[in-house]
Amino acid sequence: MPELPEVETIKNDLIPKMVGHRLTKVTLLWPGSVRHPSPDEFCRGLSNQTVEDIRRRGKYLIFDLASGRRLIVHLKMTGCLLLQPSSTAPERHARAILHLDNGTKVHFLDQRKFGVMWLVDDENDVVGFLGPEPLDHRFSVWALRKALGQHKIPVKVLLCDQTAIAGIGNMYSDEALFEARIHPLKKAGDLTTTETERLYRSIGHVLTEAIGRSGASVSTYQLPNGEPGFAHLFFQVAHRRGERCYRCNTLIQRISLRGRGTYFCPRCQAT
């Protein structure tokens, strides 16, 4: 599933191709991708609208339109947005096509059909539940401490809770916890001040480095130009079960934590 670095990369790549350009029409190939409003109203509401800006909130892409409305896209597990010439035919898993006045088309591909689109007047109707952004200058050690609070749930679960902190998912929570030398099963509220400070620094570092590497292509994720990201090539623990820890040479372990595959080094992250 695309997490914060992947969605941030997509946003950055789409801005020069879409901002300032007009959506001439929308082709819906699978109306089930539209959550709100009706598919017909969705297409009408986007037609002839200029894209004024593209933003990210957590794992959501927000397209600001000249009408004042917002197109919001969540790619879920297998979604991606590909920039294509106007002559390119839709691929097998294309669910929608945004046609631009510059001859470019944006294909919304989604193999498993979990991705969702909204057209709304108030973005908070969709993203208002999200917690703070971990790369925002207002996100501090104190804010992390507040998010951890007195929770007795594992810290890995807390980091993946989008109401607590927006955008961190399975891969980057594993990477941040490894860098901070914290076991994923440790209770969030039991982290010491020193551990909280280490985790705060590791979250910022892991996410920033992944953005610089265009995100991680461990499954279906692609950049808008169709190329893969390469952040996964630098993963320390995520998706590395049975391989040796680069730090101590111990075998990386994988456990299932509330349905999530969780990777860690049992020595570097000893409880």
**197 an active-site residue?**
no
The contacts of residue 227 (CB under 8 Å, 6+ apart) are 214
What is the rounded distance in angstroms from the CA atom of residue 198 to the CA atom of residue 257? Answer: 22
The one catalytic residue in 55, 213, 241, 260 is 260
Q: Has 113 been annotated as catalytic? A: no
Helices (H), the chain: 4-18, 39-46, 124-127, 141-148, 155-160, 170-180, 193-212
Q: Which of 2, 132, 134, 184 is catalytic?
A: 2
Residue 50 CA to residue 129 CA, distance in Å, equals: 27
164 phi and psi, to 5 degrees? -90, -50
Given 11, 56, 57, 59, which residue is catalytic?
Answer: 59
Evaluate whether 169 touches 59 at the Cβ level (below 8 Å).
yes
Cβ neighbours of residue 158 closer than 8 Å, sequence gap 6 or more: 147, 148, 151, 164, 165, 188
- Clarify whether 260 is annotated catalytic: yes
Characterize the bridge pairing of strands 116-120 and 34-36: parallel
Catalytic residue check, 2: yes
CB count, 10 Å around CB of 190? 12
Catalytic residues: 2-3, 59, 260
